[in-house]
Structure 1
């Protein structure tokens, strides 16, 4: 039995009524979604896009929460090391400085970019994009910033840095007295908020809103 989606006459439809699956490249008619519904590929089950409720307002709240967590996550102590009567407070920033002062400038630059600079730049791009939609101004700049954000997505590696911190804690726990700092809680919270933001900030709705087709993207 043939697939009804594939056998339908799609050639004559305009491009804005078509959607292609990112996983299996199946071309199909774009379904119209209601609030809190999502479209899935009939061939492989991949989520094509979703229509979430109050996407702009919820995303703005999460972006602001992430920005508030950014400073304590990077500059408050992640862990406190007590060894031979000496105490040391380790933060993300002191880790970057330690690598640089140890002669590993290249590694320090990579850690700084992936754990501090690019995550902050991503959040600022998201904030600017959401504000252009919310205030209905400068959407052409919003389109540019959203493209930049998508290019940066693969370079913000907070989860990799967190795994490195957890490995270091496991290895050092038998060598010295360790106590976890507030910075670690803020760092984990920042990571979770960013993951939540990726889920809430529906790319399809953002692209449509930026293109001016949906002025009610925040509904």
Structure 2
């Protein structure tokens, strides 16, 4: 269910009762939503925020799933290459080491940061934030960590790395025998779980819960 925001008189209203549209910058009164409702901008129709049910518990489940997939996604073989009687196995980590040992250390560092370090940092930040809300401890630290998460979230580029892997598979399939490894399955699963997590983990509800205004964020 969605709800369009009406435009009341905004003069002398407290700032915590106002919200600005991220798309068209319309300033409006922030509505109070019930569960499974969402607020939309009356001018451009952009979704301002939503009130999703059981946000913390569902997000925690997805974060833990992503962390479980992280190790096999990066250290199990993505594919096996059979060429002229020889077999080689490639992983994300071996790709980083291969670039580093080939005197392409700058590229190796970028690949390591964008495909391994920053995604792990993002998941760790999300886990810490959700636990601070779920256990009701250290919410001030949770606010700080959530700010860090929003600064680094755009630097994790798993989808770019996946596109590179798929392009390599398409180019090599006519030259050698390729076998898809379990690492690629886990990598795709990790990417899908993180996309799902971005949808479920409503930023508005997380900010409100961290500020102590919403004691029912985990319901």
TM-score tier (shorter): over 0.9
TM-score by length of 2: 0.97
Match of 1:62 in 2: 62
Report the counterpart of residue 185 of structure 1 in structure 2.
Answer: 185
Flag structure 2 segments of 5+ consecutive residues without an equivalent: none
Structure 2 distance, partners of 1:71, 1:110, is 19
Q: Is 1:52 matched with 2:52?
A: yes
Aligned-partner Cα distance in 1 for 2:162–2:180: 13
C-alpha separation between the residues in 2 aligned to 1:111 and 1:22?
31
Partner SS, residue 80 of structure 1: strand
The equivalent of 1:134 in structure 2 is 134
Residue aligning to 1:110: 110
Secondary structure of 2:160's aligned partner: helix
1:75-100 C-alpha deviation (Å, 9 max, x unpaired): 00000000111110000000000100
- What SS does structure 1 have at the residue aligned with 2:81? strand
Tell me which residue corresponds to 2:194: 194
The number of equivalent residue pairs is 215
Runs of 5+ unmatched residues, structure 1: none
Q: Please report how far the alpha carbon of residue 172 of structure 1 lies from its aligned counterpart in structure 2 after TM superposition.
A: 0.5
What is the root-mean-square deviation of aligned Cα atoms in Å?
A: 0.9
How much does 1:5 deviate? 4.2
**Using the alignment, how far apart are the partners of 1:213 and 1:63 within structure 2?**
24
Matches within 5 A, 1:15-34: 15-34=15-34
Q: Give the superposition deviation at 1:114.
A: 0.2
